[in-house]
Structure 1
Amino acid sequence: MANHNNKGWRRVVRAFGYSMKGLKDCFEFEEAFRQEVFLLIPLIPLGLWLGETPVERAMLIGSLLIVPIVELLNSAIEANVDRVGLEKHELSGRAKDIASAAVFSSIAFCLVIWILILVPKVL
């Protein structure tokens, strides 16, 4: 539960700890998140190398980072839905499907950015 007595730097430090725990848990329990993180390892340096301007580099790398961010939100939604109950329910399925669609949309966004920036360089 939230501790309202934490103020100032203590709150910031605790919030950072909770965030690191969330990243660790998602990496440990979510295969899709692990796959996305492993793809970031070669793609971030590639984006730095292929981008000719600071804006291109920011777009290439920023579009990559959006994917695991949305995956974190997707995983949080799925965990929350599963906590409520594991039986099949139309609304639970809809929530999970919509969260999955958000991940798909972030991947599509990333691909569009990379294509729009890199294809003109090849042509």
Structure 2
Amino acid sequence: MGKFIRGFGYAFSGLGYAFKSQLNFKVHLLTAILVSIAGCWFKLSIAEWLWIIAAIGMVLMAELLNTAIEILVDLVSPEIHPKAKIIKDVAAAAVLVTAITAAIIGLIIFIPKILNYAS
């Protein structure tokens, strides 16, 4: 049981590292907070909240994996190498695709609410 509990400590340590060292993680987290506030303001349905929570989770997870991959690549290939660059670029592209997908989900949910609110 102790190992299980320590695992949470390691995970929170990883979150802390990402928050302290990764600007993009902070931007995604701030965006998640703003979207959550908007969700409360517009009184999202349970189904809409599920989509928003899934999108937020995917973006934060992608950013964390990207950070881990970048650190691992730097560890195993401290010198500049073309394949190391490709690995980092593809990992960053995964974050981009995830963030674009999340933005589309957000637009599908929020645009009708904003238009309805404005009229």
Q: Scaled by the length of structure 1, what TM-score is found?
A: 0.83
Contact 1:48 1:61 survives alignment (8 Å): no
Larger relative contact order (CA 8 Å, sep ≥ 6): 2
List alignment gaps of at least 5 residues for structure 1. Answer: 1-8
The aligned residue for residue 119 of structure 1 is 111
The question of 1:109 aligning with 2:98 is answered: no
Which residues of structure 2 form unaligned runs of 5+?
none
- Counterpart residue number, 2:33: 41
Q: Does 1:88 align with 2:88?
A: no
Which residue in 1 is equivalent to 2:10?
Answer: 18
Matched length:
115
2-structure distance, mates of 1:68, 1:52:
21
Bigger drift between 69-78 and 33-42 goes to 33-42
Q: Which amino acid aligns with 1:49?
A: W
Across the aligned residues of Structure 1 and Structure 2, the Cα RMSD in angstroms comes to 1.6
Please give the alpha-carbon distance, in whole angstroms, between the structure 2 residues aligned to 1:43 and 1:110.
11
Q: Following TM superposition, by how much is the alpha carbon of 1:51 offset from its aligned partner in structure 2, in angstroms?
A: 5.0
Question: What TM-score do the two structures reach when normalised by structure 2?
Answer: 0.86
Distance 1:63 1:51 in 2: 18
Indicate the percent of aligned positions where both proteins have the same amino acid. Answer: 31
